[in-house]
């Protein structure tokens, strides 16, 4: 194994999950990571839907690692938020791994102090009003000041493990809409929560609640070259 790949794997294990990430072919009765059609689908996610390849690789590898550890109850769903895109683009993707489909693609807000239209700064600190990157497992739903909402548990030490303390949750918000973009040139911003369109919030929350994997990506999190990316499984 190339030395750069070894360094990359070690870095991921430190940043994303406490323990060792397994970058091996993983198979269960429903999902085959080594299957040819699955590989083709991953390529289509990047080419047709514009999800960055590093985000896809990391999201799927961390998903299989969480599966190995028995941490996922809702084990057919992986969600990716791509904060490399501006807020005017749909950058939340909900993937059905078992059926190789994109179930949802929609707008999602970043924290008000992370940036204006483009998120550029991130924090794990309370009261920072910034988004937190990294790997999450979805938790339970509740009714709060924003209505039907979903708690998140950050799995990434130093990047997002204060999510519960910061009340970083998924909820609907009126400022996440095409009409807001038309008036303001961007969607609105949150206090750090990945807020979503009100009219889609119940459907999205019900799809991903109770133990599914969510990965929030930005290229500053794990820089990786294209040549190194091509060597990953």
Q: What is the CATH number of the domain that holds 188?
A: 2.40.440.10
Q: Read off φ and ψ for residue 121, nearest 5 degrees.
A: -135, 140
- Residue 62 has which token pair? 């961390």
Which structural domain range is residue 92 located in? Answer: 3-229
Point out the least confidently predicted range of 39-48, 103-112, 127-136, 199-208: 39-48
Whether residue 104 has pLDDT greater than 80: yes
Confidence of residue 33 (pLDDT cuts 50, 70, 90): low
Number of domains composing the chain: 1
Mean pLDDT estimate for the chain: 85
How far is Cα 1 from Cα 230, in angstroms, rounded to an integer? Answer: 13
pLDDT tens for residues 106-154?
999 999 999 999 999 999 999 999 999 999 999 999 999 999 999 999 9
Confidence of residue 17 (pLDDT cuts 50, 70, 90): very low
pLDDT tens for residues 215-230?
999 998 765 544 444 5
DSSP 27: B
Q: What angle do CA 149, 12, 221 make, to 5 degrees?
A: 65
Query: b/e for 198-222, b at 16 or more Cβ within 10 A?
Result: bebbeebbebbbebbbbbbbbeebb
The DSSP string of 32-89 is BTT-HHHHHHHHHHHHTT---HHHHHHHHHHHHHHHHTT--SSTTEEEEEETTS-TTS
pLDDT at 73: 96
pLDDT tens for residues 148-159?
999 999 998 889
Predicted TM-score (pTM) of the model is 0.83
Give the residue among 6, 39, 2, 32 at the shortest CA–CA distance from 20.
6
């Amino acid at each position: 194994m190339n030395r750069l790949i070894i360094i990359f794997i070690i870095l991921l294990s430190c940043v994303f999950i406490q323990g060792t990430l397994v970058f091996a072919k993983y198979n269960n009765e429903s999902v085959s990571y080594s299957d040819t059609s699955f590989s083709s689908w991953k390529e289509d996610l990047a080419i047709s839907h514009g999800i960055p390849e590093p985000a896809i690789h990391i999201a799927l590898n961390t998903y299989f690692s969480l599966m190995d550890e028995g941490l996922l109850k809702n084990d057919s769903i992986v969600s990716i938020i791509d904060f490399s895109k501006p807020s005017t683009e749909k950058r939340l993707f909900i993937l059905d791994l078992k059926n190789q489909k994109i179930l949802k693609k929609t707008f999602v807000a970043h924290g008000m102090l992370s940036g204006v239209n483009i998120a550029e700064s991130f924090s794990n600190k309370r009261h920072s009003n910034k988004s937190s990157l990294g790997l999450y497992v979805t938790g339970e739903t509740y009714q709060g000041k924003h209505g039907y909402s979903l708690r998140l548990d950050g799995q990434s030490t130093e990047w997002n493990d204060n999510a519960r303390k910061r009340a970083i949750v998924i909820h609907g918000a009126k400022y996440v809409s095409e009409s807001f973009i038309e008036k303001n040139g961007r969607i609105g911003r949150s206090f750090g929560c990945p807020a979503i369109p009100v009219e889609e919030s119940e459907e999205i929350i019900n799809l991903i609640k109770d133990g599914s994997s969510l990965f929030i990506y930005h290229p500053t999190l794990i820089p990786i070259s294209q040549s190194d990316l091509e060597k990953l499984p």
